[in-house]
Copies of this chain bind each other. A is one copy, B any other.
Amino acid sequence: MSPPRLQDVAARAGVSTATVSRALSGKGHVSSRARARVQQAAHELGFVVSYHASSLASGRSRNIGVVLPYVDRWYFSTVLEGVAGALMEAGYDLSLYNFEGDRYRETVLTDFLLRKRLDAAVAISLHLNPAETQQLLAAGIPVLGVGGPLVGAPTISIDDHDVGRRATEHLIALGHRRIAHLGGAEEFGSHFPMSSDRRAGWEGAMAAAGLAVGPAWSVVSDYTFTDAYQRAKNLLADPADRPTAIFAASDEMAAGAVLAARDLGLTVPGELSVIGVDAHPIGEAFGLTTIDQHAREQGVHAVERLLEHLAGTNHEPVHEVLPAHFVVRSSTGPVPGSAGRS
Contacts and interface: CB of A to CB of B under 8 A. Distances in A.
Contact of A286 (B104, B116, B259): B259
A107 B78 contact: no
Q: Oligomeric state, in number of copies?
A: 2
Interface string A65-92: 0100011101001101100110010010
A55 interface: yes
A318 B251 CA distance: 42
A94 interface: yes
B77 A72 contact: yes
Contacts of A80: 71-72, 96
Interface residues of A, number: 56
Contact of A88 (B81, B108, B230, B281): B108
Nearest to A230: B285
Contact of A56 (B53, B139, B259, B282): B53
A281 B115 contact: no
Nearest to A75: B72
A190 interface: no
Nearest to A60: B52
Interface string A29-63: 00000000000000000001111110110000101
A95 B93 contact: yes
B281 A224 contact: yes
Given A55-B52, A117-B52, A285-B230, A88 B71 contact: no
B52 A56 contact: yes
Given A94-B95, A224-B281, A74 B72 contact: yes
Contacts of A93: 95, 112, 117
A73 B190 CA distance: 25
Contact of A71 (B81, B95, B225): B81
Interface string A173-203: 0000000000000000000000000000000
A84 to B, nearest CB: 4
Contact of A96 (B52, B94, B115, B225): B94
A65 B12 CA distance: 32
Contacts of A66: 96
A134 interface: no
A218 interface: no
Contact of A116 (B50, B100, B282): B50
A173 B260 CA distance: 30
A98 B81 contact: yes
Contacts of A96: 66, 80, 84, 94-96
Interface string A98-128: 1010011001100110111100000000000
A88 B100 CA distance: 11
A149 interface: no
Interface of A: 3, 48-53, 55-56, 61, 63, 66, 70-72, 74, 77-78, 80-81, 84-85, 88, 91, 93-98, 100, 103-104, 107-108, 111-112, 114-117, 139, 224-226, 229-230, 256, 259-260, 262, 281-282, 284-286
Given A93-B95, A94-B97, A256-B285, 12 more contacts: A3-B116, A50-B115, A52-B52, A66-B96, A71-B71, A71-B77, A71-B84, A77-B77, A91-B111, A95-B96, A225-B282, A259-B259
